[in-house]
Chains A and B, each alone.
Chain A
Amino acid sequence: MTSAKEKSTLAEGLFALPLFENLSKKHREALLEFVEIREFPPGTDFIRQGEYTRDFFVVLSGIVAFYRTEKSGVTQVLEQLGPGKWFGELSAISNQPSLARAKADTACVLAVLDPGLFKELHQFSKDFKEQVDQHYRERSLAQHLQVVPLLAGLSPEQLRALRPVARFEHHDKGAVIAKEGEHAEDIVLVRAGGLSLTRTIEGSQRLSGYLMANSSFGEHAFLGHAELWHGTYTTLMPTDLLVLPIADVRKALAGQPDMIERLTKKATLIVAEDSGEVTGLYDAEEDRASLDEQLEIMVHSESIKGGEALAIDLEKCIRCNACVEACVSVHDDGVPRLSKKGNRISAEANALGKELSLTTSCYHCETPGCMSSCNYGAIRRDSQGLIRFVWDNCVGCAECTKGCPYDVIRLTAPPDAEAEESGSWLENIPLIGGLFAGPQRPQLTVAERGYYKEQEVKGKAVKCDRCEGLPFEACVYNCPCGAIERVSPSLIFDGQIQDDGTAVAPQQKDADE
């Protein structure tokens, strides 16, 4: 715990920064209590490119430099940030892996805000939100726009020209963003959250897909004034969008007819790709490998979204249920975290040539809906990319269960109910059992270290925790047939699972052969 003197010095430094100077008293206190100060010696790479981090950093002293390595292998310095500057808002808002490597060029002292605290300030402190969003617009927006297929390949200068026309929007769950048949006038990029896409097929509304963070739609609107939305886009959870009105984009690029022509051509190709034609667009311009395409198919079929999947080899599985029983045996509440129900991948559709079933335990999603839904900082991604529930911060609000598109999160009984069930056998004797009952267990509150410490705990959200703290993953460890295994999606298409259950990377497989 920080001493009073240290707190006073810290407060002096932090609240002198424009970012924090207009915080309310409550938020100032929260910031002082929960901010973490980290020091890095010169030359330290403290965030890797592609690393999952949701922390928000403020430079208190020293210089931090950002290096991005492109697919071609070329590394370039993006920028350098000095005292008073901040970074990490893109990952904190969109749950995306870091776009660049962060390195301490000189000895650095950084203030680190965890996702719960950042989300609280971003949601409820108007001035903080405005500054962060403005900063995002100036610094990260241009880079983020590259994920829109239509805009990928534009130079940084051209992307910067689009910055003023971008509009930030926040929508609650259930909002209709675009309605099928109405005029399409915007290109929309999903910053955080997710949407469903439904289309009218043979007279009825059918779900056609999901768009999670970094997905975009509306590129076809660039083709002309009479373009209509091809489906209805509805938010599945609180969602942040970046909207580029086509008319404004055209206006911003008015002096560059070549660019307009190029974008129109590209929009034509995107529309053709969307309708199932093979145009070579992605192969030629984005060097998208066939593996990525296969992964994309899996994503669209909701089989997997990233991270690691729990795959069952159906040609080994004897359906004995030992995996689920093992899962129950390692959790005190008796609630299994594993459901064998899942998407099947036929032997023809994967490189292993095996009938596989991807169970719905937890996909450790690339864009976790649960994380976006949690207002208590109880869900975070660790440095290995796994989604973890921070037990102390969970208040049992069940919002994450609504945010998870795969229904893998369950709520356990409230702690009091558990206590009643787990009393001694004497307490369970009818009529006189009460005589043996111990002192009544108090209603749990969230531990001191959590931000929302006043909130009463109603229960706990649980999902696959990979048997945290134990020397095994119970389902994998206890399968008598070796049929169940953690597999990276790339291995399903390009690797091999050995008979002893371990996965072989493609390079190793080649070497073995």
Chain B
Amino acid sequence: MIEKHSRRGDLLLLLGFALVVAFAPTIFEPIGGGYPDLLQKFAIYGIFAVGFNILFGLTGYLSFGHAAFLGVGSYTAVWSFKLLTMNVLPALVLATVMGGLFALFIGFIALRRSGIYFSILTLAFAQMSYNLAYSVLTPITNGETGLQLTHGDPRVLDALFGVQHGDGLPSTDLFGMSMSGWSGYYFCGVVLFAMFYVSLRIFRSPFGMMLRAVKSNQNRMNYTGINTRPYTLAAFVISGMYAGLAGGLMAVTDPLAGAERMQWTASGEVVLMTILGGTGTLLGPVLGAGVIKYFENIFSAFNEATLMDVFSFLPETLQHGAVAITGLFVGEGWHLTLGALFMLIVIFLPGGLMEGVNRIKALFRGGLRRGEVRRPATMTG
């Protein structure tokens, strides 16, 4: 199970990752993804999934409530914008800390159980947070409408330093650099890179080794006299902080926090991202996050008129037929494509997208080790 990692390999990985982050606008332009909002989403959900993978990929504990930390992070960040300052640094720090605290509380309780019981405990906490945020906690969360900035917010730090925001609604900034559009993306990209690096360090550290040991056989660990709880709790809190940070970044690029960010479907989404990309792999979660967000934003945007354009090279009768058939899978049918994709990937690439990547790599290395594709570490029942 233990894979060899050369320092050179890791460095190449980081370098490649940095290059992709830096040139993402150019890389994704041809497939219609080269605009700031989508790339921000790639980066933010990438962070979320990378953090989730530290818990799930290493320890095998499947949390179904991670969206709660994301939501808490968002609310914290928006409150920081409302009460303290429009500068994003305090907001992100507070969001990460709150995500961690929340995770500490929930993790402390939920980690008393394992397997499916753990999953349901996390799910229950997240659903409670969502339901309350949507209804009775409206004074804090602004319920259905979502927490937004208003003109009359105090922003004490800004007032203290004499920062003026003009007539309209203020926008988030990093010491004067606007956090929307491309600069917002690069900010998220840098954070993603840093978080990816942290995750790599964790994967390669003795701590990461310990977490893997928990996954492979927790009982044996306990028999040897090691108390595994502090390790799993630490992993849980770290991934909660990642989620809080991701939630904070969502508020940074778009200062609105809604309760539905905490719904079980949102928790499920990060699970799907991680499995789709490849559980326990470093890059997989980022890939999975990108694919799901790409489908959600690009495939849903095709409508009959755009399809007609795409198939305009066909004779008219064929064109209508082609539009009718593809129309089932894009636009309002984008869910169908996503569902089918889940099935296809898991049937043909059990290790997620990363297995596909590895197979291609193996193919390039020639037929020497044909068929000997190593499956990345995945959760076992």
A binds B: no
| Residues of A bordering B, CB below 8 Å | none
| Residues of B bordering A, CB below 8 Å | none
